[in-house]
């Protein structure tokens, strides 16, 4: 029973549950951003590019002995993957760094002001404890 109790403590700890929720939400959000990039942004990029379907472009490396061993380097697909990543990173930056931090700033309440524990000496302006009756710097007596 100790193993099961330890497992429950581990599995339902706040950090583990938060991480699991973050992974699931991140996966769903990644699919949304990937669909946005693939369905809306990449067609616009394809319109701007001179060859149209630029992801299909590549360089064929011919094998000297046999033509069936030709290698296709898909530089267009690689460039598209880099562009996809940059767009996903930009969207995540905007969402996480800007929107969520702004929301956290509105939700956080300022800490209540604590009572002062020191006071200035009226003669030399040195900081002394509230209960002090004599200044440690100028030895003046005050109440």
How would you write the chain as a 3-class SS string? CHHHHHHHHHHCCHHHHHHHHHHHHHHHHHHHHHHHHHHHHHHHHHHHCCCCCHHHCCEEECCCCCHHHCEEECHHHHHHHHHHHHHHHHHHHHHHHHHHHHHHHHHCCCCCCCCCCEEECCCCCCEEECCCCECCCCCCECC
The residue length of the chain stands at 143
Residue whose pair of structure tokens reads 């020191």 in the numeric block: 118
When mean pLDDT is compared over 55-59, 73-77, 111-115, the highest value belongs to 111-115
pLDDT digits (tens, 9 = 90+) for 101-138: 777 677 666 667 788 889 999 889 899 998 888 998 89
Query: Which sign, positive or negative, has the C-alpha torsion 80, 85, 89, 95?
Result: positive
1-23 pLDDT, tens per residue? 788 888 777 766 667 667 777 78
Q: What is the mean pLDDT of residues 49-75?
A: 68
- CATH superfamily, region 13-109: Large-conductance mechanosensitive channel, MscL; domain 1 (1.10.1200.120)
The reply to whether the predicted model has a pTM over 0.85 is no
């Amino acid at each position: 029973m100790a193993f099961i109790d330890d497992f429950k403590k581990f599995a339902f700890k706040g950090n583990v549950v938060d991480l699991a929720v973050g992974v699931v939400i991140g996966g769903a959000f990644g699919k949304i951003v990937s669909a946005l990039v693939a369905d809306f942004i990449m067609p616009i990029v394809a319109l701007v590019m001179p060859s149209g379907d630029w992801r299909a472009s590549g360089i064929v490396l011919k094998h000297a002995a046999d033509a069936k061993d030709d290698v296709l380097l898909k530089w267009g697909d690689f460039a598209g993957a880099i562009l996809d990543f940059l767009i996903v990173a930009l969207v995540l930056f905007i969402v996480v760094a800007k929107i969520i931090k702004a929301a956290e700033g509105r939700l956080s309440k300022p800490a209540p002001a604590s009572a002062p524990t020191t006071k200035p000496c009226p003669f030399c302006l040195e900081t002394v404890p509230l209960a002090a009756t004599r200044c440690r710097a100028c030895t003046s007596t005050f109440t």
